[in-house]
Structure 1
Amino acid sequence: MEYVYAALLLNAAEKEINEENVAAILSAAGIDADDARVKALIASLEDVDIEEAIATAAVAAPAAGAAAPAAAEAAEEEAEEEEEEEEAEEEAAAAGLGALFG
C-alpha cells in the first residue's frame, strides 16, 4: 500500500509519478523501495487518470450503500455510534498527521 500512497501523494502535489519520485517518497518515509514493485506500480498507472479513478470510486461507494435495504432502528443507532467513534479516531489521526507535516 505504501507504493500506492506514494503515487497518491505525488498526484496531490501535482508532481510527476515516476520511479525516481516514488522511490524518493518511500525513502523519506524510511521504507526500502523494491525496484520491481516501483516499476510495476509505474507501469500499472501509465494509462490511469488518478483523479477520475478517485471520483469514480467515491461515487460507487455511496451508490452501493443506497441499494442496501433499510436496517432496523437499533442497527441504525449502532451504526451512528460507530460512525461517531470513527470520526473521532479520524480526527485524532489527522491531528497526528498535521504534526508530521506542520
Structure 2
Amino acid sequence: MEYIYAALLLHKAGKEVNESAVQAVLSAAGIAVNESRVKALVAALDGVDIEDAISKAAVAPVAVAAAAAPAAGAAPAAAAEEPKEDKKAEEESGMAGLGALFG
C-alpha cells in the first residue's frame, strides 16, 4: 500500500510519478524500497488518469452499499423462518455428546 500512497502523494503535489520520485518518497518515509515493485507500479500507472481513477473509486463504495442494503434486509427474514425444531435437536445432540464424556 505504501507504494500506492507514494504515487498518490506525488500526484497530489503535482509531481511526475516516476521511479526515482517514488523511491525518494518511500526512502523519506523510512521504508525499504523494492525496486521491482516500484518499476511495476510506475509501469501499471503509465497512461492512467489518476484523477479519473480516484473519482471512480470514490463512487463505487456508495453504489455497492446501496445494492447491499436490500439484500441485508432480506437475510434476517430468511433466518427467522428456520424451524425451531432443528435448534432443539442440535442442543439435545450437543448434550448427549457432553454426557458421553462423563460415562
How does the TM-score come out when normalised to structure 1? 0.66
State how far apart, in whole Å, the 2-side matches of 1:71 and 1:17 are.
Answer: 41
Other-structure match for 1:32: 32
Shift of residue 70, structure 1, vs aligned partner: 7.5
The equivalent residue for 1:52 is: 52
Task: Give unmatched runs, 5+ long, in structure 1.
Answer: 73-102
* 1:69 corresponds to 2:80: no
Aligned to 1:6: 6
State how far apart, in whole Å, the 2-side matches of 1:21 and 1:54 are: 20
The TM-score with structure 2 as length reference comes to 0.65
Question: 1:13 corresponds to which letter in structure 2?
Answer: A
What is the CA deviation profile of residues 44-100 of structure 1, one whole-angstrom value per residue up to 9, with x for unaligned ones? 00021111001001111101111221867xxxxxxxxxxxxxxxxxxxxxxxxxxxx
Q: Deviations over 1:10-63 (max 9, x none)?
A: 011010000010000000000111111100000000021111001001111101
What is the CA–CA distance in structure 2 between the aligned matches of 1:34 and 1:70, rounded to whole Å?
42
Aligned residues with identical type, % of pairs: 64
Number of equivalences: 72
**Unmatched runs of 5 consecutive residues or more in structure 2:** 74-103
In structure 2, the residue corresponding to 1:62 is in which secondary structure?
Answer: helix
